[in-house]
Amino acid sequence: MNKTTQASAGLDTALTPLRFLERAAAVHPGKLAVIDGGRRLTYGELAVDVVTLASALRASGVEPGDRVAFLGTNSAELLAAHFAVPLAGGVLVAVNTRLAAEEVRYICDHSGAVLLIGDGLLLAPVAGVGFATVREVIEVPSQDGEYEGPALRYDELMARGDAAARFEWTVDDENAVISINYTSGTTGKPKGVMYTHRGAYLASLGNALTQGFTIDTRYLWTLPMFHCNGWCGPWGVTAMAATHVCLRAVRGEDMWRLIDTENINRMSGAPTVLTTLATAPEAHPMTTPMAIATAGAPPSPTIIKAIRHLGIEIIHVYGLTETYGPYSVCEPDPSWADLPGEELSVLMARQGVGMVTAERLRVVRPELVDGELVDVAADGVEMGEIVMCGNVVMKGYFEAPEQTAEAFAGGWFHSGDLGVMHPDGYVQLLDRAKDVVISGGENISTIEVEQAVVSHPAVLDVAVIGVPDEKWGERPKAYVQIAETATITPDEIIAHVKTRIASYKAPREVEFVDALPKTSTGKIRKNELRDAAWGDTRTRIQG
């Protein structure tokens, strides 16, 4: 290395989202940072809380690289933990709030968490759990400042800290792990997805650009902060010195109340959040600009149209836990501006192209050729697996080198999602590999069927799975939630679907349900529906 190169290298600083709060507090110390119930914190106050918590973690024995678990709903405390844990040198493990006690124990033990912080009501079920590595359990206050149980109180933890403690808002290695996020584990034990400081920094900026965050953004936390670290939102919203508005439970009434009283102009969530918003009695057209980023499942053109009818812009993104949340966006092309609403909604339902901080999306064939992945034809017809690579793809699975190597076969991360590449370079997701229905040798996309079902005005939500069939091996069945005032029969829904897609793809059975089983992020638990349908005789054609 010559002297010029050495000098240039010496000027480099590690990429870390810690820098975002340091900057916001220095440049905009009086700017409103957090609204959590009746509490309001400026960026200067948030930075003080973060420093105090970081020093308290150090005083509690948290060493560099130690994992700190957080089992909590969206709150000022969980937001602060996204900065304080890595500032103290630790690794944040934000835990899904809907998990059973044994699942929480598994994640804490597998990650080797030394502390568990959480909401009192969520900690109560794990009170008798014997953790292998957790030394202390700390309870954060409820939204109105009350404590529920006998665990160490959060204010007692904070009393160990020093608001004047000195920390460097940087890291020695930008490829060090900043957080571990566990997958849902619906097909086995959950895997710990490792995010790095560099990846979190770039993913945060990518989302800030894609969702149009500015200093005037007022972001409603409808997306759980534990899910992919809230799509890196705790860092990305802070990067713009925007305002975080915490919401601990997603209900239509509460969303609209905060939208109206706190002047919300940005939020994120799965399509089920959009449905809750659009069908709430309080729903009304917006009088000021607002945008919602949606992902988690392909939104139907129907719900996209309903949200746009309220004067809300839809930003359709796509990704996985392994890609820091959103990886791609269905970025509208200027040529779409004059398209009819129905046609535009169909285009916007696609998963799109890689975001500005991501690499391109690829759709590849199953077999490697000379060790290389081969792309499908860009014809919108040939189906393949969606793969990704680059800075905003995980470092790997924690303590699972074999699973990591399998996931990166051919040098790209394999999503397990099946889709097509359109001639314009935009990817469209057709199904999860495990969800495709193979009926009489024909591949049927459950997403395509679901979108045909939900296009009926009486349908609120739907899930389609393959169920046993003596002649065809399996066939599509639809579980449908209809509006309370609707009067419709299963046969009428089937007939409607046949006007939208080929008859052989239509469900031969429709079952009305009061609600569909869902994860805390709004994804439908199709595995539960399949297990009930197949029982002990479950031997699906695709395995």
Counting Cβ atoms within 10 Å, is residue 351 exposed (0-12), middle (13-18) or buried (19+)?
buried
CA–CA separation, 526 and 287 (whole Å): 38
pLDDT at 477: 94
pLDDT at 222: 96
CA–CA separation, 50 and 238 (whole Å): 13
CA–CA separation, 194 and 176 (whole Å): 9
H or E element, residue 105: helix 101-111
Alpha-helix runs per DSSP H in 159-270: 197-211, 228-231, 233-239, 252-261
- CATH fold of the domain at 437-537: GMP Synthetase; Chain A, domain 3 (3.30.300)
Question: What are the mean pLDDT values of the chain's consecutive 10-residue runs (543 residues total)?
Answer: 46 92 98 96 98 98 98 97 98 93 94 97 91 96 82 95 97 98 75 98 98 98 96 98 96 97 96 90 96 83 87 94 97 91 87 97 93 96 95 98 95 94 95 77 80 90 88 87 90 92 87 88 82 63 33
CA–CA separation, 450 and 441 (whole Å): 20
Q: What is the CATH class of 359-432?
A: mainly beta
pLDDT at 332: 93
pLDDT at 7: 42
H or E element, residue 348: helix 341-348
Which residue's entry shows tokens 């008798």? 128
- The residues, any chain, with a CB within 8 Å of residue 446's CB and separated by 6 or more, are 431, 435, 436, 437, 463, 464, 465, 466, 476, 526
State the pairing for strand pair 473-482/459-469. antiparallel
| SS3 call for 421 | strand
- The pTM of this model reads 0.85
CA–CA separation, 141 and 147 (whole Å): 5
User: Can you say whether residue 399 is alpha, beta or left, with left for phi > 0 and alpha for psi between -120 and 50 degrees?
Assistant: left
- Cα dist. 345→313, 342, 453 in Å? 11, 5, 16
- Return the domain boundaries, the chain: 359-432, 437-537
